[in-house]
Structures are given as C-alpha cells and as structure tokens.
Chains A and B, each alone.
Chain A
Amino acid sequence: MILIVSALQLEAEPFIARNRMKRVLTRKSLQLFKGGSAMLAVCGSGPVGVAVAVSEIMSFAGVNPDRDLIANIGMAGGRPPLAPGDIAVCNKIACSFTGRTLYPEMLISHPFKEGALESFGKPVHGGVCGLDLADMEGAFFWEAASFYLPASRIHCIKVVSDAFEPESVSRKLGASLMKNAAATIYDWLEAAAEALLPDDVKSALDERQMRALDEVCVSLHLTFAMKSRLEALCKKANARSMDFLPILREEALIRAEGKKEGKLRYEKLIQRFVQ
C-alpha cells in the first residue's frame, strides 16, 4: 500500500482525484482518504499535525514493513538552481528544532531533482534556511515514520513553490503546481514500491509440507517449542533441497502412546534432519 501524508488539501487533491479516494468517515480527528491501494492523510501545516497523521495513517492501514511505503508530498520553498515547479527528492533532512539531520535512503532511481531540506515550525524566508529546500513538515514526518517503517520505505518529495517567499504562493498557483507534478510522483512511488518488494523466501514450507508437519505434531504430542524447532529444521532442509516429506509422513502414521514416547521419537526425528 502507498501511504501519502500532505499538509494541505490543495496538495492532496490531485492524488485523491487520481486514485478516486473516498473520505474515511470513521476517523473524525483527521482527514483520511482511501482508494485502491493508496491511503492519504491531510495533516495541516506544522510538526504536531504531521506526526499525529503519520501515527494515525499507519495504525489505520495496519502497515506492513515489508510491502508498504509512505511519502510526504507537498510544496516547499527552494533555492536556485531549484525553480518553482521542480520536483525534488530530499536526500538530507534537517530539523531546525532538534538540530538533528537525517539521511533518507536513496536506493531507487528517479527522474526528479534532489535537494537537502530543512524543516521549520513556521514559514521562513531566504536568509534563515541554509539548505536547498525549506518546509514545515519533512523532518517531523520522517522521524515519525521511521518508528514504523525501514528507511528505504520512507520518502520525502517536495514540489518547489517559491524561492523562500511563501506569501507569494497563491492557492491557484499551488494547486496548479501540485496538479502538474502529481502523476509523475505517484507513478514513481508505484514503481519504487514494486522495486522494493522482498524476494520470495525459497525455504518457506508449502501447503503439503505444513500439513505433514501439523500431522506429526499431533501424532507425537509436540509442544509449541518442539514444533517451532521442527519447522525451522524443515525450512533448512528446504534450503538444502532435501526431500523430507516422506520422513514426516512416515512419522505421522503411528500415533505415540503418550508424551514420553512422543519425545523419544521426536529426538530421533530431529537427528534425521541434522545428519
């Protein structure tokens, strides 16, 4: 699932429209939208809102750290050579409150520009920001998101709206900049999510093997710990391309008289895997 957190409605609108998202009415405290395989939260400007929104969207989505991806997408002031309309992926994020600097993973290739972002608690002008980009959410978003997801699945993407003159950005201009950028950003997020999918684990047990394992557990009266060890051995046997299904089936055929007999047979069974 692709999760998006944006500060303003006008920043979120193109993504809501593209994915035909619907408002999640059960969440009154936050504007939360869902559609297809995407979810979006509108958090309002500033650090507290974005941290709450990240927490809320993560818990509502039941985030999967191996498959899901989250992005903060919104407008930011930018220093030349960044110009209004440019899309920039943040490769360094500084927090003006804490003085901490974060370094996002730059694993996936992209067609955008890159820049270092500094996040402030209020709108800032030219002289204050020493980096390429300035906003009011990025660093706080990143810190909050990193509680839930690995660094490779957290992205901060900014659309340059002005050259550190926030009052010069009208609603109309902001909406237009975001609309122009949204499709490219979303397509890239989808491609990144696909690229980051984990490889299949070849040692995982298939249905027949799981069934045979369950039958052995019943036959030998195995405890949870014993079953876990046997399952781990079966996975290792898979990695070694050992055909252990006949061994399990043979063992499952005769039910042990009691726990003592089960334990003895279990120890012998283990030896067949370790050899």
Chain B
Amino acid sequence: MKNLSKGSFNKLFSHIYVEKKASCHPKAKEILSRFPSSQVILIEHYKDVFCRRGQNFTLQKKSPKLILAVRSSKFIYAGSDMCDSFGNSNFVCSSQIMNCLYDCEYCYLRGMYSSANIVVFVNIEDTFSEVLKILPAYICVSYDSDLLAFEGLAGFVREWLEFCERNPKATIEIRTKGGSLSSIENCKPIPNAMLAWTLSPEPIASKFERGAPSLERRLAQMRRALDAGWKVRLCVDPVLKLNGWREMYGQLAKECKMAVKLTELLGVSVGAFRANSGYFKKMCGLQPDSEIFAYIDGYSSGEAVRYSDEEEIVKYVSELFEIP
C-alpha cells in the first residue's frame, strides 16, 4: 500500500455515470460495451455530477470520468461573436459532447465548465431533428469538444457526415487537433463537410496542449485528409503571445508550407487569444502561474479579454500564411 505514491489517479473513464433515461439508448449501450471494467453509476440527471459544488477542474483532468446523458433542450445555439462565421449567415454550434480529451492550458472550456468530466449526449438523432428545422445552416459541431478525438468512442462524426450527405443544405465544420483520421477513413468526403485542423507551433503544442497530438502528426493527418479529397481548413487560433512568438509562428508557417500547399486548403483562419472575462478569471484561478496569461495585464469585467496589440498579432501571423 505504501507504494501507492503520488500520481496514483484512477485511469481515464474508470467510472461512467449514466442517466437513467440514457441507459436504454443504443449509443449508451455501445459506449458502455467499450469499458467493461469501468464502474457504472446510475444517476438521475447529468448535472447532479457535472455541476456538483466543490469540484477541482485541474485534479479531475488527471482522472476524467464519462457521463452519458440525454439532451432535452438547446440542441443547437447561435455561434459566438468571438468565433469566425466565415461569411455564413446562419452560423450555429452543436455540442454533442461537453469537454475534451485534451488539456490545453488556454482553452475556454476551463473557464466555461466547473467540471473536467466529459458529458456525451447520446441522442444525436434529436439534434438532427432540430437542425432540419433551421436549414440552410453552417454548423460547427466540434467547438465544445474535439469530436474527432472521440470518434472511436462515440462515432458522432460519422453520423454527422451521413446526415450532411442526406441534407446538402447543412454545412458542417469539424474542428480538431486530432490525429485519428483513421476513425473516419471509410467515410466518403462530401462537399458540405470540412475538417479544420487547429495548429500551434511545436513548442506551444508540447508545453500547453497536454495530451494533444504533436504538430508533426497533425500536419501528417491534414496531408492524408487532403489526399483523400476532404475539404480542409487550417486554423492558427489562438495565436499566443509568448517570448519569441514571432519566430515560433514563422517556423509553424514554414512547416505547414512544407507539408501542404496553402492553395489546396479551403482557407487559413487566424485569431489571437481572447476569452470571455468571466471564463478568463476562472482560467487564471486554475493556473495562477500560467505563462500564457502572464502576458495579459488587466481587463474589465463583462468585456472580452484580448491582447492590447491583437490586430498587429493577427496581421503578422496572417501575412506568414498568405498565399504568394
């Protein structure tokens, strides 16, 4: 027992909390069958676990639990002003999974949720019914999670692709840092679905994007996706202002251009780090010694937190990725 030393946290999804009304859903059964040794705990409502008081996000990240639930409302919501709609008028988001497998230090999810546990809403068919009512629409399906990283667990990307194939007026963006393109290898690329890779310079990815694939792997996956005929967007978002950021993003641009031709891409989206002030306050509380937040001095409550030289940063990085 004495050798149960520091670091003896339970493994990923050691416990799975299942809403009673979700327990009979085929998706829940399918997911549970993948974790035969996990403890299954029946709950009334996902918020009983996800919104408990006294949770510690940082500790929970060391041993995240899975919560299987049924979403009963808010299947889709309007895209945030802080996100790029890429000129689409009906820009909405869907959140079939809340929280992420990766632990990125700058991620707004750390400020948005009080729990690091992962909620999977098993009833994706109800989301599809709601989306049908608002078509045509541009739907970001992977903002509050990395859906592709969960593909082996939940299979939602495949279901979204099948939905889009049946409904050409639905255009989806699947944003990812994921390296698991193989999980949708058998899916046919379709014109109204795009994969969007979020890239960061390797020193940033290795230091601040815990658990996420390396830059090299992401670029390799992007290459594979392009070769397979997928529409691909590159997202350099958020750009982080750290010591030597200009050199780091310069190097990133070079590596991207070596891996893919920028003309092959649907576009490159660039955005500097920004956050809702309430979320930012919580994020700073979780990581008081964060190097990322140390470059932001002062912000007003109720206003978005941004770098004072945001425009200059975005302009600089955008120019690095300009097509000659």
List A residues at the B interface (Cβ < 8 Å): 91-92, 101-103, 105-109, 111, 114, 116, 146, 149-152, 184, 187-188, 191, 194-197, 201-204, 233, 235-241, 273-274
- Which of B2-10, B79-87, B193-201, B263-271 lines the interface with chain A? B2-10
Count of inter-chain pairs, beta carbons less than 8 A: 111
Known: A103-B41, A240-B294, A273-B297. 4 other contacts (CB 8 A): A91-B39, A105-B60, A108-B10, A203-B289
Question: Which residue, of A107, A202, A237, A238, has the highest number of chain B Cβ atoms within 10 A?
Answer: A107
- Name the contact of A146 in the complex, choosing from B14, B53, B63 (C-beta under 8 A): B53
Is B56's CB under 8 angstroms from A195's CB?
no
Residues of B in contact, count (CB < 8 Å): 39
Is B295's CB under 8 angstroms from A240's CB?
yes
- With A91-B15, A240-B243 in contact, do A107 and B39 touch (Cβ < 8 Å)? no
Any A CB within 8 A of the CB of B43: yes
Is A191's CB under 8 angstroms from B55's CB?
no
Contacts of A92 in B (CB 8 A): 41, 43
Is A103's CB under 8 angstroms from B297's CB?
no
Is A107's CB under 8 angstroms from B44's CB?
no
Any A CB within 8 A of the CB of B159: no
Please measure, in the bound complex, the distance between the C-alpha atom of A196 and the C-alpha atom of B293, giving whole angstroms.
Answer: 25
Is B294's CB under 8 angstroms from A239's CB?
yes
Contacts of B242 in A (CB 8 A): 240
Contacts of A204 in B (CB 8 A): 289
Any A CB within 8 A of the CB of B1: yes
Is B4's CB under 8 angstroms from A191's CB?
yes
Is B4's CB under 8 angstroms from A107's CB?
no
Is B55's CB under 8 angstroms from A101's CB?
no
Any A CB within 8 A of the CB of B229: no
Please measure, in the bound complex, the distance between the C-alpha atom of A103 and the C-alpha atom of B5, giving whole angstroms.
Answer: 25
Is A235's CB under 8 angstroms from B62's CB?
no
Any A CB within 8 A of the CB of B187: no
Please give the distance in Å from A198's CB to the nearest CB on chain B. Answer: 8
Is A191's CB under 8 angstroms from B2's CB?
yes
Is A196's CB under 8 angstroms from B288's CB?
no
Is B54's CB under 8 angstroms from A146's CB?
yes
Contacts of A102 in B (CB 8 A): 52
Closest to A187 in B: B1
Lowest 6 A-B CB distances belong to which pairs?
Answer: A203-B289, A191-B4, A239-B294, A187-B1, A236-B294, A151-B54
Is A203's CB under 8 angstroms from B294's CB?
yes
- Name the contact of B17 in the complex, choosing from A103, A152, A201, A235 (C-beta under 8 A): A103
Contacts of B289 in A (CB 8 A): 201-204, 235, 238-239
Any A CB within 8 A of the CB of B167: no
Contacts of A239 in B (CB 8 A): 289-291, 293-294
Contacts of A101 in B (CB 8 A): 43-44, 48
Is B39's CB under 8 angstroms from A106's CB?
yes
Any A CB within 8 A of the CB of B135: no
Contacts of A274 in B (CB 8 A): 297
Please measure, in the bound complex, the distance between the C-alpha atom of A134 and the C-alpha atom of B135, giving whole angstroms.
Answer: 53
Please measure, in the bound complex, the distance between the C-alpha atom of A109 and the C-alpha atom of B39, giving whole angstroms.
Answer: 12
Please measure, in the bound complex, the distance between the C-alpha atom of A114 and the C-alpha atom of B65, giving whole angstroms.
Answer: 16
Please give the distance in Å from A105's CB to the nearest CB on chain B. Answer: 7
Any A CB within 8 A of the CB of B59: yes
Is A149's CB under 8 angstroms from B65's CB?
no
Contacts of A194 in B (CB 8 A): 5-6
Contacts of B52 in A (CB 8 A): 102-103, 151
Please measure, in the bound complex, the distance between the C-alpha atom of A26 and the C-alpha atom of B317, giving whole angstroms.
Answer: 67
Contacts of B124 in A (CB 8 A): none
Question: Which residue, of B14, B41, B55, B56, has the highest number of chain A Cβ atoms within 10 A?
Answer: B56
Is A106's CB under 8 angstroms from B59's CB?
no
Closest to A150 in B: B54
Closest to B291 in A: A239
- Name the contact of B65 in the complex, choosing from A106, A146, A238 (C-beta under 8 A): A106
Please give the distance in Å from B296's CB to the nearest CB on chain A. Answer: 9
Question: Which residue, of B55, B59, B242, has the highest number of chain A Cβ atoms within 10 A?
Answer: B59
Any A CB within 8 A of the CB of B101: no
Could you give 5 example pairs across A and B, Cβ below 8 Å? A107-B10, A146-B54, A150-B54, A151-B55, A152-B59
Please give the distance in Å from B294's CB to the nearest CB on chain A. Answer: 4
Is B10's CB under 8 angstroms from A106's CB?
yes
Contacts of A203 in B (CB 8 A): 288-289, 294
Please measure, in the bound complex, the distance between the C-alpha atom of A239 and the C-alpha atom of B8, giving whole angstroms.
Answer: 28
Please measure, in the bound complex, the distance between the C-alpha atom of A220 and the C-alpha atom of B291, giving whole angstroms.
Answer: 28
Is B55's CB under 8 angstroms from A107's CB?
no
Contact with A along B10-21 (1 / 0, CB 8 A): 110011010000
- Name the contact of B243 in the complex, choosing from A106, A195, A241, A273 (C-beta under 8 A): A241
Please measure, in the bound complex, the distance between the C-alpha atom of A187 and the C-alpha atom of B1, giving whole angstroms.
Answer: 6
- With A101-B48, A105-B55 in contact, do A233 and B297 touch (Cβ < 8 Å)? yes
Please measure, in the bound complex, the distance between the C-alpha atom of A203 and the C-alpha atom of B287, giving whole angstroms.
Answer: 10
Please give the distance in Å from B215's CB to the nearest CB on chain A. Answer: 23
- Name the contact of B63 in the complex, choosing from A107, A184, A191 (C-beta under 8 A): A107
Please give the distance in Å from A210's CB to the nearest CB on chain B. Answer: 16
- With A150-B56, A188-B4, A191-B1 in contact, do A107 and B294 touch (Cβ < 8 Å)? no
- With A91-B41, A101-B44, A194-B5 in contact, do A106 and B15 touch (Cβ < 8 Å)? yes
Please give the distance in Å from B154's CB to the nearest CB on chain A. Answer: 22
Any A CB within 8 A of the CB of B181: no
